[in-house]
Amino acid sequence: MKKYFFTFLFLCYGVLFATDNVVGTTIPDLKLNLLDGEKTSIHELLKDGPVMIDFWATWCKPCKKVMRYLDQYHQEYSEQGFKVLMINQDTPRSMGKVKSYIRSQKHEFIVALDPNQQIAKKLNGQVMPTLILVDQDGSIKWRHQGYMPGDEVEIERQIKLLIQSDSSES
């Protein structure tokens, strides 16, 4: 009976607190090792505008499907300072092939490496893909777990909403 109680308690907690928009939650300034060898941080990337963070790996099928749309949005909304940051979670077993895959797809978004899931654990991105949309001031505006075909419509809508609200405020 105890185990059902705990399961029920956890579910209640989740349903009560897991809302779409967590207002006031700020993304921490985590250090990033980029695929091209450079080093930066999340707050550094936010200086130009909002950032969409996504967690992926070369062996993750749905990740690859959503990546082509994210790259498209990265290019389409770059004038508004918007960027896509793809945090790769390939382990040493396959991390040698990450750049090869990115080059083959001509993706232009920013790729960071997180081989032992330290960033993923801090941002709760262990489920792949997990999308986190962050406003320029660092506040998290939207989160999304998983990908099924058609989700790209909602992803783009959220990006547009954020860019429009930023431009109307300024």
Partner 1 sequence: MKKLLPIVFILSSLFANDIDFNAALSANYGDNYDFYSYSENRLDLNFFYNDLQGWIQYEYSNPPDVGFPINDIRKFRIEYALNDLTIKFGDIYEFWGRGLALNQIDDQITNFDNGTRGLFLSYSNGPLSLSHLNGNSSIWLFGTDLRTPFYNNSHNMSGNQFQYDWNSFSLGLTQLQSNETHQKLFGDKAYINHKLKGIYGSWIATNADFFFEYVDKVSTEKMDFFQEVAHDSLKEGHGVYGNLNLYLGNWGLSTEYKRYAFDRGHTDFTADDYGNRIELQMMPTLGKEQNSTLLGRVAHNYNLNDERGVQLEVNGSLLDKLTLTAQYSHLSRNNNWQSVTPADWEDSAIPNYLPSSDPSSLPYWENYQEISGFGFGDKLYFKLGRGNNKEILKTTRYFDGQGLSIKKNWVYTDSVEWYDEWYYIDSSLIGIDTTLYNVEAKMWQEAKSFTIPMEINYSFNNNYTFGIGFQYQERTKNNITKGNSRTYSYSDSAWTLIKVNDPDSMVYSRDTQFLINEKKLKTQYNRMIYVTLSKAPTWSFTITHDWTNGFDGPTTVDPYYNPLEALIFGDLKYFTGERNRIEPPNFIQKRWVSAELAYNITSSQRVSVMYGSIQGGLFCSNGICRLIAPFNDGIKFSYSAIF
> What is the distance between the alpha carbons of residues 53 and 38, in angstroms, rounded to a whole number?
18
| Residue 57 and residue 88 in contact, taking contact as beta carbons nearer than 8 Å | yes
48 forms part of the interface with partner 1 (CB under 8 A): no
17 forms part of the interface with partner 1 (CB under 8 A): yes
161 forms part of the interface with partner 1 (CB under 8 A): no
What are residue 143's phi and psi, to 5 degrees? Answer: -130, 150
Residue of 47, 149, 167, 168 interacting with partner 1 (CB under 8 A): 149
What are residue 26's phi and psi, to 5 degrees? Answer: -105, 140
| Residue 59 and residue 145 in contact, taking contact as beta carbons nearer than 8 Å | no
Binding site for partner 1 (CB under 8 A): 2-4, 6-7, 10-11, 13-15, 17-20, 22, 24-28, 36-37, 57-61, 65, 68, 90-97, 99-101, 103-106, 115-118, 121-124, 126-127, 130, 140, 142-146, 148-151, 153-154
